[in-house]
Amino acid sequence: MSNADTPNVAEGLSIRGITKRYGPITVLRDVDLDVKPGEVVALLGENGAGKSTVSSIIAGLVPPTAGTMTWNGQPYAPTSPADALRRGIGLIHQEMRLLPDLSIAENVFVGRLPTRNGRVDRAGMARRAAENLHSLGLDVSPATLVGALRVAAQQQVEIAKALTLNARFLIFDEPTAALGGEETDNLFAQIERLKRAGMGFIYISHRLDEIARIADRVVVLRDGQKVGSHATAQVPVKTLVEAMVGRSLDRMFPTIEPLNGREILRVEGLTSPDGTFSDVSFSVKAGEVFGIAGIVGAGRTELMRAIAGADPIASGTITVEGRPLAPRSPADSLAAGIVLVPEDRKAQGLVLEHTIGDNIALGNYPRVAPNGFVTPGAVRRFADANIRRFGIKGRAGQPANHLSGGNQQKVVLAKSIARQPRIVILDEPTRGIDVGARAQIYDVIAGLAREGLAVIVVSSDLDEVLGLSHRVMVLSRGTNRGILDHTQANRISVMERATH
């Protein structure tokens, strides 16, 4: 296979003709890739394109079926992740692999706790962990238990852990999926610093704007094959997206339709007991997509969970179609017609071991079986109708954890929308989802608004909030910094308020 890579690279990582088969299925076909020291190579592709398989092979999680790798001129065939790490190659997982009941410092040094005089050197451990956290922009005590941290902070602990590993080559798999703008900037500053020190990177992300900022080169995979290799600066986003999905995308976002609905949701002076948000007021009309922007920790998720009845409210009022709502549990908000599609679909959206059918039917039994007799046939028919409606690639009897992120998200959407709500809250609806599935979810969101529902979209992806919303509310440190009409909202006006 011919490509732009220079042959005979002695330094850095070089892989040649890597193929991976699981039984009769070939997930990776004859892939070549070179990463020199001090270089960031972005790996792009839809879910299932083979990105994770490439990183798993390099990190020693799975052996390749065929092909060879060299690392700094030496043959490289890791037998385990620990083996890969000994050679200086580490992988930052997409899913957090942390121990929630241990402190940040212990998590950073787990498996290699520093000792002094035969005892664990807690002070030194805390100091080194704190340094790394601080350089990532996370100012919390290293003695904090990881379980008490929010998703974004946990991810930073994961990154801090890698930075203390003295690795010379790191693979980042969607490192910024849970990060806000500021944390992303911090991470990129770290990557730039490590690059200058000669470290090599493979960077996997669905966020093309990030790739343009951080990557030196871009390699695009599709269906397990390398379909493109570019220098970042020269590649328009559209070209990359088209290479990834293998078809041309006319538009990413559906058009925003004019608004003429009546007000459905009114929130006034809403304040949380622990101060994560305070005195927040806004209203949403029928047919409106209402975006909520802000950096991680601004209180967006907490605000949405409070409206959905999942977390308590200290003061303020919620009014749904003129009727006051003081939810004491999610059941109260659901009864008022509010559904929440939560940010963490694996922990809060799905029972992963259960089937797609059971997941879609959950909470929908009055509609699945109006006679109160939930037969497997009724569940399957209900699920099949929703599988068709939302274009889920899976069967009703398949466990939910067999699905890709995009299809899992569609299952959560199907389950929530099947309740026939009046207000839909989507928290990070496209986190970790590939471009093709994203476009489908955007179409679903626009479709719900067209049907006259009030839709609230919370996202750390600024383009997504801007592209979908009629109006955008910006939260910063738990307070409303302004609501912008989509004609005035742009990256600058939103970010100015978000970082206020």
Partner 1 sequence: MTVQTKHPAGAVPRFKVDLTGGVWGPLIGLIALCVFFAFKAQHFFTLQNAIIIFDQVTVYGILAIGMTLVIITGGIDLSVGSVLAFSAMTTGWLFSIVGMPFVPALFCGIAIGGVAGLASGLLVTYARLPPFIATLATMTITRGLANKYTDGNVVSGWPDALNTLNTYRHFGVITATTAFFLLLVIATWAFLKYRPAGRNLYAIGGNPEVARLAGIPVRFYLVGVYVVAGGLSAIAGMANAARLQTSQPYDGLGYELTAIAAVVIGGASLSGGVGSIGGTLIGVLIIGVLNSGLSQIGAQTYDKDVIIGVMIAAAVAFDTLIRRRR
User: Rule CB under 8 A: which residues touch partner 1?
Assistant: 308, 310, 329-331, 334-335, 340, 342, 347-355, 357-358, 361-363, 365-366, 369, 372-377, 379-380, 384, 395-397, 399, 415
Residue 73 or 397 having the CB closest to partner 1: 397
Q: Using DSSP, state whether 331 is helix, strand or coil.
A: helix
Residue 34 identity (one-letter amino acid):
D
Residue 163 or 378 having the CB closest to partner 1: 378
Residue 287 or 342 having the CB closest to partner 1: 342
User: Could you give the strand order of the β-sheet that contains 40-44, starting from the edge strand earlier in sequence?
Assistant: 89-92, 169-173, 200-204, 40-44, 217-222, 225-231
Phi, psi of 259 (to 5 degrees): -100, 130
CB of 491 to partner 1, least distance (A): 32
Residue 88 or 330 having the CB closest to partner 1: 330
The secondary structure of residue 254, as a DSSP letter, is P
CB of 395 to partner 1, least distance (A): 6
Residue 58 or 368 having the CB closest to partner 1: 368
> Distance of alpha carbon 338 from its chain centroid, rounded?
23
Residue 296 or 350 having the CB closest to partner 1: 350
Residue 211 or 334 having the CB closest to partner 1: 334
CB of 401 to partner 1, least distance (A): 11
| 378-398 burial: b if 16+ Cβ within 10 Å, else e | bbbebbbebbeebebebebee
Residue 416 or 459 having the CB closest to partner 1: 416
CB of 271 to partner 1, least distance (A): 22
CB of 371 to partner 1, least distance (A): 10
**Contact in structure between 52 and 173 (CB atoms under 8 Å):** yes
Contacts of 224 (CB under 8 A, 6+ apart): 20, 26, 27, 28, 29, 31, 49, 50, 53
Residue 258 or 377 having the CB closest to partner 1: 377
Q: Show the tokens assigned to 394.
A: 């899976």
CB of 31 to partner 1, least distance (A): 28
Tell me whether residue 330 is exposed, middle or buried, using C-beta atoms within 10 angstroms of its C-beta: 0 to 12, 13 to 18, 19 or more: middle
CB of 304 to partner 1, least distance (A): 11
CB of 377 to partner 1, least distance (A): 7
How is 364-392 classified by DSSP, letter by letter? -HHHH-TTS---HHHHHHHHHHHHHHHT-
Residue 246 identity (one-letter amino acid):
G
Beta strands in 13-113 (DSSP E): 13-22, 25-35, 40-44, 66-71, 74-75, 89-92
Residue 195 or 395 having the CB closest to partner 1: 395
Residue 22 identity (one-letter amino acid):
Y
CB of 270 to partner 1, least distance (A): 19
Distance CA 321, CA 330 (A): 18
> Distance of alpha carbon 65 from its chain centroid, rounded?
30
Element (H, E) at 108: helix 104-108
CB of 411 to partner 1, least distance (A): 11
CB of 456 to partner 1, least distance (A): 16
CB of 294 to partner 1, least distance (A): 22
Query: What's the chain's length in residues?
Result: 500
Element (H, E) at 240: helix 237-245
Residue 113 or 369 having the CB closest to partner 1: 369
Residue 247 or 323 having the CB closest to partner 1: 323
| CA proximity to 94, closest of 208, 175, 207, 150 | 175
Residue 283 identity (one-letter amino acid):
S
Q: Show the tokens assigned to 288.
A: 């409106």
> Distance of alpha carbon 116 from its chain centroid, rounded?
40
What CA dihedral angle connects 380, 432, 456 and 469, to 10 degrees?
A: -120
**Contact in structure between 359 and 382 (CB atoms under 8 Å):** no
Distance CA 401, CA 333 (A): 28
Residue 334 or 433 having the CB closest to partner 1: 334
CB of 26 to partner 1, least distance (A): 18
